[in-house]
C-alpha cells in the first residue's frame, strides 16, 4: 500500500487523537499503517511506542522506541521512554544511561513545554534513585573488603566515579608547565614555614584593621590597563567589590604600604616566595565587600602556589578550587581538635602568598 505524505500526516494526527481519547488499540493500528507504508518519522514511531506501552505490549514498545531513536538519537521523549522500558525489565544501569543522556542533551528548561519539563524531572528522579542504589551497593562492597576509606585520594576517586565531583585540570591563562601535580589544596604539613605566619595572625589582623580605617587605600583587584584591550572579566574589572591592598606587587615591595604593616612583612620574611621580575611575588590584603562573589577563573601560571590566611571571616562564606569547596576559618576560631590537614588547609580569606596551585577557581563571599 502506498500512502502519501499528506495521508501519513493525517493518520499521525488521528493516532495522537486516539491516544488522547484513551483508545491505544486504534492508535496502534493508525501508526502501524504509517510504519508499514515506510512513511514513519521519529514522531510516528514514538506514537506507536506509546500505544504499545498502554496496551502492555513490551516487545512492541521496545521495537517502536528503538526505531524512533534510530531516526532521532537525541529525541528526549524517546530516550526517556527507552529508559522506562529498561527499568521495567529490571536493567537499572541501562535505564539510568538513557535517563542520564536525556538530561545531558536537553535544552534549557525555559525552552521546553511544561509537559517535557515534568518528564525530565521524572527522569532525573529515576536517575538519582538508581545512582543512590549503585552507590550503596558499591560502598557496601568496598566496606566488606576494608577499602571504603583507604585514603583521601581513593575517596575522591569514588566521588568522581559517582558524579559527585567533576574533574578539573590546571588551565593557566599564560604559562603552563607540564607534569606538575594536579592538587587542588596542598597538605598544610608540607609547609612548615607557615607556622611563623600563622603565629603572627593577631598582629597581621591588627595591621589590616588599621589599614581598613582608610578604605580608599584599597583598589580594585582587577584593574583595566589603557595599554591593553579592556576585558570585563565577568564584571570584576575596576569593581571595588573585590579590592586589594598590596604589600608586594608585580615583584616589588610597595614601600608606603609595607611601612604600614611591619609585622606582616616580618612574618613573611622567610617565606619561599616566587620571584619573577615584573610578575611576582604578590602579597596583599584581599577584601570582598558584603554580598560580593568572585566568578570562577584560572590564574596566569601553574608554577606557584597561593596561600590564603583568614583574618576576617563573616558567616556564610565558601571558597572553591576545582571541585573542592572549603569554608575559611579564622585562626582564633579553629578548634584544636580538628584535623590540621583539613581545617588548616582552609583557603585563606585575606592575605596572599603561597598555597593552592593551577586551576585556581574561586567562588566565595567574604567581607
What CATH superfamily is the domain 5-129? Answer: Tetratricopeptide repeat domain (1.25.40.10)
Average pLDDT value for residue range 90-112: 94
Distance CA(338)–CA(223), nearest Å, equals 39
* Contact between residue 293 and residue 319 where contact means Cβ atoms under 8 Å apart: no
Average pLDDT value for residue range 107-117: 93
Structure confidence by residue, pLDDT tens digits, 231-288: 777 788 888 999 999 999 999 999 999 999 999 999 999 999 988 888 889 999 999 9
pLDDT reported for residue 356: 30
How many other C-beta atoms are found inside a 10 Å radius of the C-beta of residue 196?
14
Structure confidence by residue, pLDDT tens digits, 135-188: 999 888 888 888 766 788 888 888 888 888 888 999 998 899 999 998 888 988
Give the residue ranges of DSSP H helices in the chain: 5-20, 24-36, 42-54, 58-71, 76-88, 92-105, 114-144, 152-161, 194-199, 201-211, 255-258, 262-267, 340-343
Kind plus residue range of the DSSP H or E element containing 75: none
Position 227 pLDDT exceeds 50: yes
Least confident range of 5-14, 92-101, 241-250: 5-14
* Contact between residue 271 and residue 354 where contact means Cβ atoms under 8 Å apart: yes
Question: Residue 123: pLDDT band by 50, 70, 90 thresholds?
Answer: very high
Question: Residue 64: pLDDT band by 50, 70, 90 thresholds?
Answer: very high
**Per-position DSSP letters for 171-234, written without gaps between them:** --SSB--TT----SS--GGG-TTHHHHHHTHHHHHHHHHHHTTSGGG-EESS---TTS----TT
Estimate the crossing angle of helix 5-20 against helix 24-36, to 10 degrees.
160
pLDDT reported for residue 360: 30
Classify each residue of 340-361 as buried b or exposed e, where b means 16 or more C-beta atoms within 10 Å of its C-beta. Answer: eeebbbbbbbbbbbbbbbbbbb
Quick one: CA torsion of 350, 194, 274, 321, rounded to 10 degrees?
A: -50
Question: Residue 126: pLDDT band by 50, 70, 90 thresholds?
Answer: very high
Distance CA(284)–CA(269), nearest Å, equals 14
pLDDT reported for residue 324: 87
Distance CA(249)–CA(295), nearest Å, equals 22
Percent of the chain past pLDDT 90, that is, above it, reads 56
How many other C-beta atoms are found inside a 10 Å radius of the C-beta of residue 301?
20
Least confident range of 3-7, 192-196, 285-289: 3-7
Question: Residue 331: pLDDT band by 50, 70, 90 thresholds?
Answer: low
Position 304 pLDDT exceeds 60: yes
Length of the chain: 367
Position 100 pLDDT exceeds 60: yes
Average pLDDT value for residue range 75-104: 95
What CATH superfamily is the domain 188-343? Answer: B-lactam Antibiotic, Isopenicillin N Synthase; Chain (2.60.120.330)
Domain spans in the chain, listed from the N-terminal domain onward:
5-129, 188-343
Classify each residue of 160-185 as buried b or exposed e, where b means 16 or more C-beta atoms within 10 Å of its C-beta. Answer: eeeeebeebebebeeeeeeeeeebbb
Amino acid at each position: 500500500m502506498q500512502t502519501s505524505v499528506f495521508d501519513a500526516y493525517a493518520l499521525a494526527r488521528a493516532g495522537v487523537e486516539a491516544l488522547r481519547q484513551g483508545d491505544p488499540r486504534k492508535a496502534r493500528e493508525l501508526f502501524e499503517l504509517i510504519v508499514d507504508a515506510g512513511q514513519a518519522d521519529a514522531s510516528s514511531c514514538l506514537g506507536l511506542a506509546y500505544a504499545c506501552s498502554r496496551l502492555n505490549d513490551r516487545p512492541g514498545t521496545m521495537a517502536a522506541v528503538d526505531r524512533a531513536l534510530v531516526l532521532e538519537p537525541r529525541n528526549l521523549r524517546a530516550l526517556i521512554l527507552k529508559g522506562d522500558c529498561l527499568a521495567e525489565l529490571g536493567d537499572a544501569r541501562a535505564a539510568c544511561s538513557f535517563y542520564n543522556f536525556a538530561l545531558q542533551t536537553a535544552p534549557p528548561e525555559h525552552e521546553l513545554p511544561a509537559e517535557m519539563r515534568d518528564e525530565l524531572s521524572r527522569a532525573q528522579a529515576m536517575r538519582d534513585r538508581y545512582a543512590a542504589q549503585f552507590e550503596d551497593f558499591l560502598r557496601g562492597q568496598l566496606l566488606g573488603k576494608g577499602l571504603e576509606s583507604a585514603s583521601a585520594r581513593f575517596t575522591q576517586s569514588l566521588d568522581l566515579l559517582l558524579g559527585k565531583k567533576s574533574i578539573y585540570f590546571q588551565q593557566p591563562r599564560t604559562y603552563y608547565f607540564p607534569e606538575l601535580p594536579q592538587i587542588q589544596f596542598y597538605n598544610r604539613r608540607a609547609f612548615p614555614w607557615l607556622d611563623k605566619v600563622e603565629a603572627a595572625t593577631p598582629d597581621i589582623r591588627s595591621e589590616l584593621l588599621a589599614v581598613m580605617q582608610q578604605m580608599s587605600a584599597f583598589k580594585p583587584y582587577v584593574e583595566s590597563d589603557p595599554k591593553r584591550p579592556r576585558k570585563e572579566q565577568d564584571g570584576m574589572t575596576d569593581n571595588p567589590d573585590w579590592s586589594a591592598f598590596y604589600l608586594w606587587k608585580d615583584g616589588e615591595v610597595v614601600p608606603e604600604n609595607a611601612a604600614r604593616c611591619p609585622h606582616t612583612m616580618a612574618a613573611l620574611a622567610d617565606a619561599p616566595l616566587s620571584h619573577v621580575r615584573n610578575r611576582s611575588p604578590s602579597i596583599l590584603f584581599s577584601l570582598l565587600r558584603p554580598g560580593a562573589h568572585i566568578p570562577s577563573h584560572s590564574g596566569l601560571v601553574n608554577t606557584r602556589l597561593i596561600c590564603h590566611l583568614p583574618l576576617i571571616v563573616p558567616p556564610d562564606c565558601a571558597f572553591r578550587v576545582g571541585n573542592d569547596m572549603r569554608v575559611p576559618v579564622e585562626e582564633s576560631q579553629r578548634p584544636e581538635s580538628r584535623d590540621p590537614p583539613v581545617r588548616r588547609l582552609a583557603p585563606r580569606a585575606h592575605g596572599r602568598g603561597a598555597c593552592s596551585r593551577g586551576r585556581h577557581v574561586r567562588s566565595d563571599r567574604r567581607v
